[in-house]
């Protein structure tokens, strides 16, 4: 009986329809998402624009609800259309079937990360329009591509475009994470991502020799130093129950490459580390330490930081009375009786590109009392939780748009 309860709920059906679109990596097709959003815009009687900041395969869709004060900076409600890969054999429901079980759980890739939030925005806007609400600030609802791969084909080129600048964004909401407790996390910052590749050159020759300065010896020294730093962070997190994973630096060795056969000492080995620097870590000092360890290991080691290399952290969003948007957000959650906790987001979202442009942004997904299943098998969101989130967003959006 429980599943049939939702058959006539329009917002649940819209959500499930969106979930059934397999905009999944490694080769997402966003065109069905664009067509679906065109239909949503028509239903909402809102203008829609599709931008292509990089290429035709990566559209950015923006619906707009004009405010009374058209020159005031606007509100951006952002979400991403893409979802991570699935392994169907590990799911008890088809990952793009959007099945709803007897408990009211909706199973689909993207149900938590983050098609839910994009559709909750639209559902909240629909409810506010039906009530005849009017707001001072213009509201833009954006649906972007490529977030799951770092946003380099989506939000990154979009924020530097004239199309984005014409939106006159003053504040943004983006995704958060589900919470297994009643407390909802609110993310005001992100750690700085460093994906560092050590390209280690050394003496080459026969495996029966004991040559000096081999790449293997250098790799051992570098790995030892990195793991010592990692152990310090593990201890720091363990010793202080007030800290979350986003408050410490994480270091993980993710790949090692090189060598040709077992009895040949190779001239080159490469090691890749995924590093997320906490906000209290000095970025320049950390990079200087890496260079120092390379010299101590024997030198002739190249550090590759990839395409994007930041020299400092992106400034966090201010969360005090000097930020009227924070005051409005906080006031809304308090009026709703929600328990919230400010946190640093442990991963990366498109909010970092907005903050880097000087735009305050908060990450928030109204999914409490929900297991954290983003990127996991059998990802689901309960229908009641989804609809409660729609009500929450109505209050939050209303407050923000009237700042």
Is 148 part of the annotated catalytic residue set?
no
Length of the chain as a residue count: 403
Dihedral sign, CA of 187, 189, 191, 195? positive
Per the residue annotation, which of 147, 148, 350, 379 is the catalytic one? 147
How many angstroms separate the CA atoms of 118 and 77, rounded? 8
Helical spans, DSSP H, in 240-303: 283-297
Q: Which 3 state secondary structure label does DSSP give 26?
A: coil
Helical spans, DSSP H, in 260-312: 283-297
Question: Of 302, 220, 293, 202, whose CA–CA distance to 256 is shortest?
Answer: 220
Is 82 part of the annotated catalytic residue set?
yes
Query: To 10 degrees, the CA torsion angle through 179, 181, 182, 188?
Result: -40
Exposure on the CB side of residue 348, measured as CA atoms within 13 A? 21
Beta-bridge partners for 340: 184
Dihedral sign, CA of 64, 150, 105, 16? positive
Dihedral sign, CA of 277, 148, 58, 66? negative
Per the residue annotation, which of 82, 113, 174, 190 is the catalytic one? 82
CA distances from 145 to 71, 244, 371 (A): 28, 29, 26
Residues annotated catalytic, as ranges: 82, 147
């Amino acid at each position: 009986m429980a599943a049939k309860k939702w058959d006539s709920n329009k917002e649940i059906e819209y959500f499930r329809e969106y979930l059934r679109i397999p905009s999944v990596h490694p080769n997402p097709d966003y065109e069905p998402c664009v067509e679906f959003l065109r239909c949503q815009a028509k239903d909402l009687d809102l203008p829609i624009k599709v931008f292509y900041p990089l290429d035709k395969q990566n559209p950015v869709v923006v619906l707009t609800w004009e405010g009374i004060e058209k020159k005031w900076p606007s509100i951006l409600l952002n979400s991403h259309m893409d979802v991570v890969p699935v392994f169907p054999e590990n799911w008890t429901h088809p990952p793009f079937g959007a099945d709803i079980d007897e408990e009211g759980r909706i199973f689909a890739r993207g149900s938590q990360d983050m098609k839910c939030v994009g559709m909750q925005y639209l559902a909240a806007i629909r409810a506010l329009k039906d009530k005849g609400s009017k707001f001072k600030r213009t509201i833009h609802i954006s649906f972007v591509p490529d977030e799951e791969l770092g946003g380099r084909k989506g939000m990154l080129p979009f924020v530097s475009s004239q199309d984005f600048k014409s939106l006159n964004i003053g504040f943004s909401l983006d995704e958060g994470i589900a919470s297994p407790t009643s407390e909802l996390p609110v993310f005001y910052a992100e750690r700085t991502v460093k994906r560092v590749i050590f390209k280690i050159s050394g003496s080459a020759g026969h495996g029966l020799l004991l040559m000096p300065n081999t790449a293997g010896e250098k790799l051992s020294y570098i790995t030892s130093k990195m793991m010592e730093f990692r152990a310090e962070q593990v201890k720091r997190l363990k010793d202080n129950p007030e800290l979350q994973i986003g408050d410490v630096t994480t270091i993980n060795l993710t790949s090692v490459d090189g060598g040709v056969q077992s009895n040949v000492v190779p001239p080159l080995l490469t090691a890749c580390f995924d590093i997320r620097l906490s906000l209290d870590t000095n970025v320049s000092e950390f990079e200087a330490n890496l260079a120092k360890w390379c010299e101590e290991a024997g030198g002739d080691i190249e550090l590759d930081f990839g395409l994007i290399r930041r020299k400092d952290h992106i400034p966090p969003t201010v969360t005090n009375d000097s930020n009227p948007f924070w005051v409005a957000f906080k006031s809304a959650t308090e009026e709703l009786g929600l328990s919230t906790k400010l946190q640093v987001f442990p991963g990366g979202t498109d909010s970092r590109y907005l903050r880097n442009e000087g735009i305050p942004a908060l990450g928030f997904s109204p999914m409490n009392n929900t297991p954290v299943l983003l990127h996991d098998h059998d990802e689901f969101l309960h229908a009641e939780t989804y609809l409660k989130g729609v009500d929450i967003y109505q209050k939050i959006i209303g407050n923000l748009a009237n700042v």
